Structure 1
Amino acid sequence: MKLPDAILFASDATRYVMVGGALLLISALAMAGERRRAKRRHVDNVGIMPWRDIAALTMMAGLIVTVFGVMGWIRG
């Protein structure tokens, strides 16, 4: 698979920010899944996915990786 030049020649800080953004997007999707699960019509139909845990872990990882990327941008 050929990567676009913008990603191929990006700095490590830029890659960290992109990965952090992707993790934050996954976290937002998991929060939407948790909200949907909480507002379900039938209380007994819980499901198997731990949306709350996925949202919390990806949010924490996404924020940490994004902060490292931004620190790399600031330091140059």
Structure 2
Amino acid sequence: MKLPRGISGATFTNLLCERLGYRVVGQEGSHILLRSELPHGHRLPVPAHKELRIGTLASLIRMVSNQKDLSRDEVLAALFEL
């Protein structure tokens, strides 16, 4: 499944919070810090850029899929309703 282009850091953060149970816990410099609602949830730093680079987006999706025990395609489908 192809990654969407032109996604901002703020938009990606909102999608993670609304659809996959993350919550914003703060900001350090230019990164929005999220934490998953799972026990021992991991911290996920999302760059607050106007447009995330495709490699950065792929890496963030890989981290989410590892934490949530979902496949990459399942994460993409949940986030972007594909």
- Using structure 1 for the length normalisation, give the TM-score: 0.29
Which protein, 1 or 2, shows the higher relative CO under an 8 Å CA cutoff with sep ≥ 6?
1
Structure whose residues are more often strand by fraction: 2
- The structure with the largest alpha-carbon Rg is 1
Structure whose residues are more often helix by fraction: 1
- Using structure 2 for the length normalisation, give the TM-score: 0.27
